[in-house]
Amino acid sequence: MTLSQSLQDSPLRLPRVVAIDGPSASGKGTLARRLAIDLGYLYVDSGAMYRTLAWWSLQNGLRCSLPMSAVEESAIIRLLRRWKTEVRVIDGEAWLHVNGYFPAQEIRSNPVEAAVPAIAQIGKVRDWMVARQRACTDLGPLVMEGRDIGTEVFPLAEVKIFLHADEDVRQARLANRGNAGSNGAARDHLDNTRRKGALYPALDALRIDNSVQSPDETFELLRIHVRSRLRIG
């Protein structure tokens, strides 16, 4: 059998995923969750998976701050290889559970917030996360948001969106939701420059700057674009 015959017999199946990427406070979480409800898709917050590992690492007494030594990275990788996890669906949303427990409140704490950038820089961590995120398609069609969904996790997704807003606008949003101490610009630099899973728009992504848009205005743009791409009336 030739390669062309093989491809005809097994046509490429595009993942049923709407990939939404963007920096901190670009609105991707709120909009992705709302879009998932509108479409009847599952919502997946890929960043929460990294937060869960950051929380578990801190629970196990590991250092999670930059710069990290090779020894410190190795300790986190060893923990990653032996923790017991499962992705479960709760009210239309897929979340990573550890030993049967979903740390919903814990992963939003300030210590975890500070630990995530260090965790997210580790290449083997990103490999593990990408594999688990891709496996979420077994649960059904997805709206997944993060920083490398359209470029690394689902580069063949039919719908890719990249949200952005001016730095000062995003910093104000962080302050309004109680994260005034978070440095959005510093996190953006780490995300933009890491060797694996860097943050940048996919070439075929719809780019939306919502600096001066209300959430409703941005959502309507997303809704029209996504339904057109998915051929949903």
For 9-62, write each residue's pLDDT tens digit: 544 456 799 999 999 999 999 999 999 999 999 999 999 999 999 999 999 999
Please, which residues have CB within 8 angstroms of residue 126's CB and are 6 or more apart in sequence? 120, 148, 152, 196, 197
List of domains in the chain = 14-41+141-233 (3.40.50.300), 46-135 (3.40.50.300)
| Beta-bridge partner residues of 164 | 209
SS3 of 109-133: the string is CHHHHHHHHHHHCCHHHHHHHHHHH
The pLDDT of residue 44 is 98
Distance in Å from the first CA to the final CA of the chain: 40
CA distance 183 to 191: 13
Q: What is the pTM of this model?
A: 0.90
CA distance 224 to 70: 47
Q: Which stretches of the chain are DSSP H helices?
A: 3-9, 28-39, 46-59, 70-82, 110-120, 123-135, 167-176, 184-193, 215-229
Nearest to 30 by CA among 165, 122, 187: 165
Residue position matching structure tokens 């959430």: 215
* Residue 6 clears pLDDT 60, i.e. is over it: no
The pLDDT of residue 181 is 56
pLDDT tens per residue, range 66-86? 999 999 999 999 999 999 999
* Residue 178 clears pLDDT 80, i.e. is over it: no
* Residue 3 clears pLDDT 70, i.e. is over it: no
CB 201 within 8 A of CB 155: no
The pLDDT confidence band at residue 179, using thresholds 50, 70 and 90, is low
pLDDT tens per residue, range 133-175? 999 999 999 999 999 999 999 999 989 999 999 999 999 998 8
The pLDDT of residue 176 is 86
CA distance 42 to 55: 24
CB 50 within 8 A of CB 119: yes
* Residue 131 clears pLDDT 90, i.e. is over it: yes
